Amino acid sequence: MGATQYGFAFYAVLVKSNQGRGIPVAFFIVSEESSDILSLCLKKVQEAVGEFQPRCVMVDRDMKEINAVHTVFPHAKVLLCWFHVLQVKNQNHFRLGVIPG
């Protein structure tokens, strides 16, 4: 997820190729970030490709994203992106005056 210059949220959906590379298959630009809106977006992807049931889905760290994935893909494992998890950890340390070690 990222933000556009107008404050809209930007999401990209990628699938892993046989070579282990991420291939973008869908993009969402939304003005409201909620589990309902994200679920709707994921359902549209599912409708476009047919019965698509991923084994796992990686998200940043946001509960709205996790809830949307569980709604649309109830059997998928949700994985958290380590980069974003560590980013939050370091931001919280900075706010608390702790130097990450």
Distance in angstroms between the alpha carbons of the first and the last residue of the chain: 27
The third-level CATH classification (topology) of the domain covering 2-96 is Nucleotidyltransferase; domain 5 (3.30.420)
Regions of the chain where pLDDT drops below 50: none
Burial class (CB within 10 angstroms; exposed 0-12, middle 13-18, buried 19+) of 50: exposed
Residue 17 pLDDT: 87
Helix ranges (DSSP H) in the chain:
35-49, 63-72, 82-96
Report the predicted TM-score, pTM, of the whole model to 2 decimal places. Answer: 0.75
Residue 76 is predicted with a pLDDT of 93
Residue 99 has a pLDDT of 52
- Residue 55 neighbours by CB under 8 Å, 6+ apart: 76, 77
Report which residue type is found at 22.
G
